[in-house]
A and B are shown apart, each in its own frame.
Chain A
Amino acid sequence: EVQLVESGGGLVQPGGSLRLSCATSGFTFSDYWMDWVRQAPGKGLEWVANINQDGSVKYYVDAVKGRFTISRDNAKNSLYLQMNSLRSEDTAVYYCSRALEVWGQGTLVTVSS
């Protein structure tokens, strides 16, 4: 069974940093592009970033460029999102996804003083 489990969310002050992790199992992680998608409370979905199979190609939405970094460790079957200079508008549930096909349950990030 394919599983994606996010962790690392929590409450952080504006300007702070947080690192999200996504542990995967049930498939060959190194074969797939991986994505992060977020959803602010009561709002729609926003694609954040993705990364190719070997980590050499990455794309970001403009709103997070220069602040967020997506990465992966194929030996650990894990995906990461390093989030720096966090703003209140980054408050959202962050979902990890295998190529936008299968999604984790999400982890909540709250940016507030």
Chain B
Amino acid sequence: DIQMTQSPSSLSASVGDRVTITCRASQGITNQLGWYQQKPGKAPKRLIYLASSLHSGVPSRFRGSGSGTEFTLTISSLQPEDFATYHCLQYKSYPRTFGGGTKVEIK
């Protein structure tokens, strides 16, 4: 199975900050990676697919990058509604595997 290591597991940031979350795959997954946002008690929402493509309706402050084994989700200017948990997911092979999640909290 491909292991997805996400870091950090949590971070504190202020509105307007630039935030970067990293996901590392245990083997190459080309660009078969997605990023999801999840708020407490709610279902995940896809932000990014194919490592860098923005899901429809997602604000442009969210940016995904990377390929192979190293991937990054960047929020260019954190907004109040962005405080949530973020998950990466590889879909290069089965079983699909998620990273452990990154909780973005208010500083």
Contacts and interface: CB of A to CB of B under 8 A. Distances in A.
B101 A44 contact: yes
Given A47-B95, A59-B95, A100 B46 contact: yes
Contacts of B46: 100-102
Interface residues of A, number: 19
Contacts of A105: 42-43
Interface string B70-107: 00000000000000000101010011111111000000
Contacts of B55: 101
Which among B38, B49, B55, B96 has the greatest number of chain A C-beta atoms within 10 A?
A: B96
- Is the contact region of chain A dominated by helix, strand, or loop, or is it mixed? strand
Nearest to B1: A62
B98 A59 contact: no
Contacts, number: 44
A95 B44 CA distance: 9
Given A95-B44, A104-B43, A45 B95 contact: no
Contacts of A46: 98
Given A44-B98, A44-B101, A101 B49 contact: yes
Interface of B: 34, 36, 38, 42-46, 49, 55, 87, 89, 91, 94-101
Given A44-B101, A47-B89, A47-B98, 16 more contacts: A35-B96, A45-B38, A45-B98, A47-B97, A59-B94, A62-B95, A95-B43, A100-B46, A100-B89, A100-B96, A101-B46, A103-B44, A103-B45, A104-B43, A105-B42, A105-B43
